[in-house]
């Protein structure tokens, strides 16, 4: 092993772990994964420890590693707390605890004076009806835990829908959020290491369809220095309050009055995949650097513009991507299934005309709507 080599354990074995390993191997890092199957995207990129009723597989992973990280904010808090008794886990428990519950997350935004949508926590039909009178309609009802890519959500437009909403996703704790009148959806990826170094990627614009991110434009067009600074200020407050080590992502709404926080993720993020070819140091490499105590890398863009297009549900005509000089194909080795993220395409361009020409050429990978 080289002087900077570490054994990194990843709780999860999906595409995020796969891309972490691909970024970490040139730095002589070694990887182990804790997943459910030998068919998962990360399975062949490191030591695979399969989840089962036998806890020895997790014990073996922890014994193998110098540091542990995770792919999802739905990772077990209890599991992380137990592992942290013997092995560093980054990001640490507090980041996971705050981000996996929408109520706690919004309470943190309030504490740090980061604007977010008005909200109420509800746990019964009566409390939901009261929250609607306080928040107003339209509003969006979400589960406080789990839920991603549009799952576990119900858009309330009329009071007549309240019982239906509670019937469909209720009988558990929920959060009702007021609608934000926003111009576009943005996100920012930031990285902090244990030496309190911070680096920030530029704000990007995200376009969703049916709750799933379909494409990202990086950097977002017509972002003022003040807005970028505002986003970085939010991130610095979050990183320092959480004592966060690794990548942290914040999804935002841009409004006429500035940026409003939506939600955060204590991990590498789909809206940061463009950084693999689009930035001097990808979010994946910077996460590896942060959790292994290495200096953080340059987050500057390599080309004036980049885009990331998600491949959803079916692989599509990927051979076409390989004929385009400025397009880069990333497949996750996953079986096709409706709504499933199978891969992504990164595109680099010198100007907007070139970028949108290439995006148009890849329109088969975008929703027809």
Query: Are 326 and 347 spatial neighbours (Cβ–Cβ below 8 Å)?
Result: yes
- d(CA 6, CA 292) in angstroms, rounded, equals 7
Residues 6+ apart with CB under 8 A from 253: 180, 182, 184, 185, 186, 259, 260, 261, 262
Average pLDDT over residues 236-244: 98
* Domain boundaries, position 218: 184-363
Question: Is 255 part of a structural domain of the chain?
Answer: yes
Looking at the structure, do residues 193 and 298 belong to the same domain, yes or no? Answer: yes
- d(CA 258, CA 274) in angstroms, rounded, equals 25
Residue-wise pLDDT tens digits, 254-288: 999 999 999 999 999 999 999 999 999 999 999 99
Looking at the structure, do residues 146 and 232 belong to the same domain, yes or no? Answer: no
Look at residue 9 in the predicted model and tell me its pLDDT: 98
- d(CA 219, CA 278) in angstroms, rounded, equals 10
Look at residue 168 in the predicted model and tell me its pLDDT: 93
Looking at the structure, do residues 255 and 281 belong to the same domain, yes or no? Answer: yes
Looking at the structure, do residues 251 and 191 belong to the same domain, yes or no? Answer: yes
Residue 3, both tokens: 């002087």
Phi-psi region of 256 (alpha: psi -120 to 50; beta: other; left: phi over 0): alpha
Q: Is the pLDDT of residue 321 over 70?
A: yes
- d(CA 258, CA 248) in angstroms, rounded, equals 21
Average pLDDT over residues 83-90: 98
Residue 167: pLDDT band with limits 50, 70, 90: very high
Look at residue 57 in the predicted model and tell me its pLDDT: 87
Environment class of 2 (CB within 10 Å of its CB; exposed 0-12, middle 13-18, buried 19+): exposed
Q: Residue 16 belongs to what H/E stretch?
A: helix 15-24
Give the length of the chain: 369
pTM of the model: 0.95
Q: How many CB atoms lie within 10 A of CB 56?
A: 10
Looking at the structure, do residues 211 and 353 belong to the same domain, yes or no? Answer: yes
Look at residue 1 in the predicted model and tell me its pLDDT: 80
Looking at the structure, do residues 306 and 355 belong to the same domain, yes or no? Answer: yes
Question: Is 159 part of a structural domain of the chain?
Answer: yes
C-alpha distances out from residue 304 to 221, 348, 351, 354, Å: 11, 8, 7, 11
Q: Where is the domain boundary, 51, 70, 89? A: 89
Q: Is the pLDDT of residue 209 over 80?
A: yes
Peptide bond into 115 cis (omega under 30): no
Looking at the structure, do residues 343 and 306 belong to the same domain, yes or no? Answer: yes
Look at residue 148 in the predicted model and tell me its pLDDT: 66
Q: Is the pLDDT of residue 149 over 90?
A: no
Looking at the structure, do residues 47 and 193 belong to the same domain, yes or no? Answer: no
Q: Is the pLDDT of residue 181 over 90?
A: yes
Question: CA 269, 275, 277 angle in degrees (round to 5)?
Answer: 140
Looking at the structure, do residues 72 and 214 belong to the same domain, yes or no? Answer: no
Q: How many CB atoms lie within 10 A of CB 353?
A: 9
Residue 53: pLDDT band with limits 50, 70, 90: low
Looking at the structure, do residues 81 and 130 belong to the same domain, yes or no? Answer: no
Question: Is 231 part of a structural domain of the chain?
Answer: yes
Residue 42, both tokens: 């990360």
Q: Residue 249 belongs to what H/E stretch?
A: strand 246-255
- Could you tell me the CATH number of the domain that includes residue 70? 3.40.50.20
Domains in the chain: how many in total? 3
Please enumerate, as own/partner, the contacts of 204-209 that have beta carbons within 8 Å and a separation of 24 or more. 204/271, 204/272, 204/274, 206/251, 206/271, 208/150, 209/367, 209/369
How far out from the chain centre does Cα 104 lie? 18
Environment class of 285 (CB within 10 Å of its CB; exposed 0-12, middle 13-18, buried 19+): buried
Is the sign of the CA dihedral 99, 227, 309, 21 positive or negative?
negative
Looking at the structure, do residues 48 and 128 belong to the same domain, yes or no? Answer: no
- Could you tell me the CATH number of the domain that includes residue 156? 3.30.1490.20
Q: Where is the domain boundary, 126, 157, 178? A: 178
Pairing of strands 30-35, 47-50: parallel
Look at residue 171 in the predicted model and tell me its pLDDT: 86
Helix (H, G, I), strand (E, B) or coil at 296: coil
Residue 56: pLDDT band with limits 50, 70, 90: confident
Average pLDDT over residues 225-232: 97
Look at residue 54 in the predicted model and tell me its pLDDT: 59
Residues 6+ apart with CB under 8 A from 153: 140, 141, 142, 143, 147, 169, 211
- Could you tell me the CATH number of the domain that includes residue 199? 3.30.470.20
- Mean pLDDT (the chain) is 95
Radius of gyration of the chain (CA): 21
């Amino acid at each position: 092993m080289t002087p900077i080599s570490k054994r990194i354990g990843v709780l999860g074995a999906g595409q995020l772990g796969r891309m972490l390993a691909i970024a970490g191997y040139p730095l002589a890092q070694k990887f182990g994964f804790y997943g459910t199957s030998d068919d998962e995207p990360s399975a062949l990129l490191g030591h695979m420890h399969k989840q089962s009723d036998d806890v020895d597989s997790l014990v073996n992973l922890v014994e193998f590693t110098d540091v542990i990280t995770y792919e999802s904010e739905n990772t077990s808090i209890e599991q992380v707390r137990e592992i942290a008794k013997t092995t560093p886990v980054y990001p640490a428990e507090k980041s996971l605890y705050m981000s996996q519950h929408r109520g706690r997350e919004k309470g943190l935004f309030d504490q740090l004076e980061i604007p977010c949508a008005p909200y109420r926590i509800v746990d019964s039909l009566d409390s939901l009806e009261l929250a609607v009178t306080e928040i107003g309609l339209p509003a969006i009802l979400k589960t406080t835990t789990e839920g991603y890519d549009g799952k576990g959500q119900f858009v309330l437009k009329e009071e007549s829908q309240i019982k239906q909403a509670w019937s469909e996703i209720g009988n558990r704790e929920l959060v009702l959020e007021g609608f934000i009148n926003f111009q576009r959806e943005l996100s920012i990826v930031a990285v902090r290491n244990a030496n309190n170094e911070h680096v920030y990627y530029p704000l990007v614009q995200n376009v969703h369809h049916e709750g799933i991110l379909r494409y990202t434009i990086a950097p977002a067009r017509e972002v003022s220095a003040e807005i970028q600074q505002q986003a970085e200020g939010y991130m610095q407050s979050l990183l320092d309050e959480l004592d966060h080590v690794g990548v942290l992502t914040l999804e935002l709404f841009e409004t006429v009055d500035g940026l409003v926080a939506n939600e955060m993720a204590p991990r590498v993020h789909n809206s940061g995949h463009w950084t693999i070819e689009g930035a001097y140091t990808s979010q994946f490499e910077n996460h590896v650097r942060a959790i292994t105590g290495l200096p953080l890398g340059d987050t500057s863009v390599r080309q004036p513009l980049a885009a990331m297009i998600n491949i959803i549900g079916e692989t599509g005509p990927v051979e076409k991507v390989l004929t385009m000089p400025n397009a880069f194909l990333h497949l996750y080795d996953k079986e096709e299934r409706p709504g499933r993220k199978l891969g992504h395409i990164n595109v680099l361009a010198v100007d907007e005309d070139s970028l949108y020409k290439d995006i148009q050429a890849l329109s088969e990978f975008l929703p027809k709507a």
